[in-house]
Amino acid sequence: MKAVVLREPGSDDPVEVGALPMPAPKQGEVVVRVRAAAVTPTELAWEPTWKLPTGEPRPRPIVPGHEFSGEIHALGADVRELSIGDPVLGMNDWIENGAQAEYCVARPSDIALKPRSIEYAVAATIPISGLTAWQGMVEKARVVRGARVLILGGAGAVGIFAVQLAHSLGAHVTATVSARDLDFVRGLGAEVALDYRLEWPEGAAGMDIVFDTVGGETLERAWGCLRPSGKMVTIAASSEQTLDRRTQDAFFIVEPNRSQLMKLAEMIASGRLQTFVGAQWPLEEAARAYRPHPAAGAPRRGKAVLVVGDAGR
């Protein structure tokens, strides 16, 4: 089968397309015929991309991309809840080969049935960003109606979901974005949109919750935006190795969750949530998806997606 594989860390072109053996499902697994797989360029900087939990290098070849949509192709002997041909979306294990291939392996608990009304390319953008926002807003921050919520990076892949979910929960949402995205996040439900270069943190004081997708200096400044009993939540990779205890407590990594993914897909199918395909390429042109966007100043909202064949419904 065709698959995207990683080159050596630091390569100018970090991926190439090669030929790998067709996967077979083990007990408790399914094989998915991939129709679309989203691209998360920051994955190239994550430790699990290159190392096993023991710290040893992962065996090659390494296939990136851990969120996808497609159809069930094969079932492990003990899998009963899914059937061959079911349309699905989901995630696969961070330390296993990903989904940027014609076929990938996943656990049934990590995937959900795809509503027929959602195109495969659109469905592939939901799992990681949508679940990250859901778990941050609903589980970690426990947003309630009337809460004042600041979302740092409101026009990013996760921020887009976070703004909409916080708004749907009845929160008063403030989002920091670039100047070109001010109207965009207002359209998603932000009551206040701040140009991160000019208007914050001065315009974002007294928050009940801060949801950070940026990290670094932005996160450090954001602590001052919280009221005394406020809650900080961060997903920024720079926070994972920090020695600061309060940042350790605020940081989390998304986990697969079938029921939450089903809810997100249903919300998108019904029009209560939006997601965006920022760019779309065939699997064979994967290298383009990992390069910086060539049009300086042109927003590319949402995720890049690699498609295998027809990525419609």
Please write the tens of the pLDDT for every residue from 31-48.
999 999 999 988 888 888
Rounded distance between C-alpha atoms, residue 302 and residue 39, angstroms: 10
Residue 298's pLDDT is: 46
Q: What CATH class has 2-125+275-307?
A: alpha beta
Q: Is the pLDDT of residue 226 over 70?
A: yes
Residue 142's pLDDT is: 97
Q: Which alpha helices (DSSP H) does 68-199 contain, by range?
A: 120-123, 127-134, 157-168, 182-188
Please write the tens of the pLDDT for every residue from 253-306.
999 999 999 999 999 999 999 999 999 999 999 998 887 665 444 447 889 999
Q: What is the pTM of this model?
A: 0.92
Q: Is the dihedral of CA 261, 68, 136, 298 positive or negative?
A: negative
Confidence class of residue 118 from pLDDT cuts 50, 70 and 90? Answer: very high
Structural domain boundaries of the chain?
Answer: 2-125+275-307, 129-250
CATH topology identical between 2-125+275-307 and 129-250: no
Inter-residue contact 130 to 240 (CB < 8 Å): no
Mean pLDDT over the full length of the chain: 91
Mean pLDDT computed over 104-117: 97
Residue 177's pLDDT is: 95
Angle among Cα 101, 107, 112 to the nearest 5 degrees reads: 85
Q: What are phi and psi of 158, to 5 degrees?
A: -80, -40
Q: Is the pLDDT of residue 245 over 90?
A: no
Residue 297's pLDDT is: 44
More confident residue, 12 or 62: 62
Q: Is the dihedral of CA 129, 135, 141, 143 positive or negative?
A: positive
Inter-residue contact 206 to 183 (CB < 8 Å): no
Residue 313's pLDDT is: 62
Residue 296's pLDDT is: 43
Residue 241's pLDDT is: 67
pLDDT over 70 for what percent of the chain? 94
Please write the tens of the pLDDT for every residue from 67-78.
999 999 999 999
Among the four given CATH numbers 3.30.565.10, 3.40.50.720, 3.40.190.10, 3.30.1550.10, the one describing domain 129-250: 3.40.50.720
Confidence class of residue 312 from pLDDT cuts 50, 70 and 90? Answer: low
C-alpha dist (Å) from residue 27 to 24, 105, 272 = 10, 11, 37
Confidence class of residue 154 from pLDDT cuts 50, 70 and 90? Answer: very high
Mean pLDDT computed over 112-121: 97
Q: 219: closest CA among 228, 227, 210?
A: 210
